[in-house]
Amino acid sequence: MAIPIRYNIRNLKLRKGLTIMTSLGIALTVTTAIFLMALLAGLDRAFVTSGDPLNVLVMRKGSQAELSGGFDASLFPTLKTLPGIAKDRNGEPMASGEWVVVIVLPRKDGTGEVNVTVRGMMPDGLELRPQVKIVEGRWFTPGQREVVVSESIKKRFAHANIGDTLQFGKGPWTVVGVFDAGGSAYESEIWGDVNQMASDFDRQGGFASAYLRATDPVSADALKHRVSDDQRLKLEGVLETEYYAKQTSSGAPIKYIGWVVAIIMAIGSSFAAMNTMYAAVAYRSREIATLRVIGFSRPSILTSFVFESVLLSLLGAAVGIVLMLPFNGMTTGTSNSVTFSEIVFSLRMTPQVVMVAVVFAIIMGLFGGMAPAWHAARRDILAALRD
Amino acid sequence: MTKISFVIRNSFRNKRRSILTMLSIGFSLLLLTLMMTIWRSFYIDQGAPDSMKRVITRHRVSLTFFLPTYYRDKIRSLPGVVAIVPMTYFGGVYKDDRPENSFAQFATDPSEYMKVGSDKIVPADQLLAWQRDRAGAMVDVELAKKFGWKIGDRITLQGTFLPVNPELTIRAIFCMDPPPRSLYFHTAYLEEAIPWFKGQAGFFDTRVASADDVPQVSAAIDEMFRNSPEPTKTESEHAFKLSFVAMLGNVKAFILSICAAVVFAILLVSANTMAMSIRGRTREVAVLKTLGFTASNVLSLFVGEAVALSLAGGVLGIAAAAGVIQLFSHSPVGIGVSNGLTVTVPTMGVALLVAAAVGFFSACLPAYNAARMNIVEGLRHIG
Give residue-wise pLDDT tens across range B159-209.
Answer: 877 778 899 999 999 988 777 788 999 999 999 988 778 888 989 999 999
Q: Which residues of A touch B261 (CB under 8 A)?
A: 28, 31-32, 265
B161 touches chain A (CB under 8 A): yes
Residue B297: its H or E element: helix B295-330
**B301 has a pLDDT exceeding 80:** yes
Test A265 with B27 for CB contact under 8 angstroms: yes
Test A335 with B17 for CB contact under 8 angstroms: no
Are A126 and A154 within 8 A, CB to CB? no
Query: For chain A, which ranges sit under pLDDT 50?
Result: none
Output the pLDDT for position A1. Answer: 67
Closest CA in chain A for residue B158: A62
Test B243 with A335 for CB contact under 8 angstroms: no
Domain-located, residue B292? yes
Output the pLDDT for position B335. Answer: 46
Please indicate, yes or no, whether residues B223 and B257 belong to a single structural domain of this protein: no
Which of B230, B261, B290 lies at the terminal end of a domain, its last residue? Answer: B230
Cα–Cα distance between B380 and B383 in angstroms, integer? 9
Q: Which residues contact A165 (CB under 8 A, 6 or more apart)?
A: A159, A172, A173, A174, A175
DSSP state of A157: B
Please indicate, yes or no, whether residues B191 and B268 belong to a single structural domain of this protein: no
Test A25 with B160 for CB contact under 8 angstroms: no
Q: Of A184, A202, A183, which Cα lies nearest the Cα of A101?
A: A202
Closest CA in chain A for residue B162: A68
Beta-ladder partners of B94 = B157
Chain B, 292 to 331: residues with Cβ < 8 Å from chain A are none
Please indicate, yes or no, whether residues B357 and B313 belong to a single structural domain of this protein: yes
Test B249 with A334 for CB contact under 8 angstroms: yes
Q: Which residues of A touch B21 (CB under 8 A)?
A: 271-272, 275
What are the Cα distances from residue A277, in Å, to A8, A319, B20, B158?
12, 19, 11, 58
Confidence of residue B73 (pLDDT cuts 50, 70, 90): very high
Test B62 with A29 for CB contact under 8 angstroms: no
Are B172 and B129 within 8 A, CB to CB? yes
Test A272 with B99 for CB contact under 8 angstroms: no
Output b/e per residue, A129-158; b: 16+ Cβ within 10 A: beebeeebbeebeeeebbbbbbbbbbebbe
Lowest-confidence range among B32-41, B66-75, B241-250, B305-314? B241-250
Q: Which residue has the higher pLDDT, A309 or B332?
A: A309
Please indicate, yes or no, whether residues B138 and B109 belong to a single structural domain of this protein: yes
Test B261 with A265 for CB contact under 8 angstroms: yes
Domain-located, residue B176? yes
Test B30 with A276 for CB contact under 8 angstroms: no
Please indicate, yes or no, whether residues B70 and B37 belong to a single structural domain of this protein: no
Which of B176, B202, B230 lies at the terminal end of a domain, its last residue? Answer: B230
Domain-located, residue B52? no
Closest CA in chain A for residue B160: A63
A263 touches chain B (CB under 8 A): no
Output the pLDDT for position A248. Answer: 67
Chain A and chain B share a number of CB contacts under 8 A equal to 134
Please indicate, yes or no, whether residues B219 and B254 belong to a single structural domain of this protein: no
A297 touches chain B (CB under 8 A): no
Q: Which residues contact A348 (CB under 8 A, 6 or more apart)?
A: A38, A41, A42, A45, A328, A329
A90 touches chain B (CB under 8 A): no
A371 touches chain B (CB under 8 A): no
Cα–Cα distance between A180 and B192 in angstroms, integer? 46
Q: Which residues of B touch A16 (CB under 8 A)?
A: none
Cα–Cα distance between A365 and A310 in angstroms, integer? 4
Test A334 with B247 for CB contact under 8 angstroms: yes
Are A338 and A246 within 8 A, CB to CB? yes
Test A67 with B271 for CB contact under 8 angstroms: no
Please indicate, yes or no, whether residues B36 and B70 belong to a single structural domain of this protein: no
Distance, in angstroms, between A240 CA and closest chain B CA?
Answer: 19
Domain boundaries, chain A: 5-48+250-386, 55-215
Express as a percent the part of chain B with pLDDT over 90: 30
Residue A218: its H or E element: helix A217-229
Please indicate, yes or no, whether residues B209 and B255 belong to a single structural domain of this protein: no
Nearest to A115 among B62, B258, B275 (CB): B62
Test B268 with A24 for CB contact under 8 angstroms: yes
Please indicate, yes or no, whether residues B256 and B198 belong to a single structural domain of this protein: no
Cα–Cα distance between B218 and B234 in angstroms, integer? 5
Chain B, 47 to 86: residues with Cβ < 8 Å from chain A are 60-64
Domain-located, residue B67? yes
Cα–Cα distance between A320 and B79 in angstroms, integer? 59
Output the pLDDT for position B76. Answer: 92
Domain-located, residue B241? no
Closest CA in chain B for residue A260: B31
Distance, in angstroms, between B247 CA and closest chain A CA?
Answer: 5
Confidence of residue B268 (pLDDT cuts 50, 70, 90): confident
Please tell me the total count of domains within chain B. 2
Closest CA in chain A for residue B267: A25
Q: Which residues contact B227 (CB under 8 A, 6 or more apart)?
A: none
Q: Which residues of A touch B62 (CB under 8 A)?
A: 101-104, 115, 340
Mutate to test the interface with B, among A168, A271, A285, A312 (most CBs of B within 10 A): A271
Chain B, 267 to 286: residues with Cβ < 8 Å from chain A are 268-269, 271-273, 275-276
Across the range B333-346, mean pLDDT stands at 65
Which of B169, B197, B230 lies at the terminal end of a domain, its last residue? Answer: B230
Q: Which residue has the higher pLDDT, A364 or B1?
A: A364
Test A21 with B266 for CB contact under 8 angstroms: no
**Dihedral angle computed from the Cα positions of residues B240, B244, B249 and B254, in that order, rounded to the nearest 10 degrees:** -80
B363: domain range? 3-45+250-380
Domain-located, residue B55? no
pTM: 0.73
A205 touches chain B (CB under 8 A): no
Distance, in angstroms, between A216 CA and closest chain B CA?
Answer: 31
**How many residues does this entry show for chain A?**
387
Nearest to B265 among A269, A333, A334 (CB): A269
Q: What is the ipTM of this complex?
A: 0.71
Nearest to A275 among B249, B250, B273 (CB): B273
Domain-located, residue B242? no
Nearest to B261 among A32, A63, A202 (CB): A32
Cα–Cα distance between B285 and B374 in angstroms, integer? 10
Across the range B68-81, mean pLDDT stands at 92
Domain-located, residue B235? no
Q: Which residues of A touch B258 (CB under 8 A)?
A: 32, 261
Please indicate, yes or no, whether residues B138 and B21 belong to a single structural domain of this protein: no
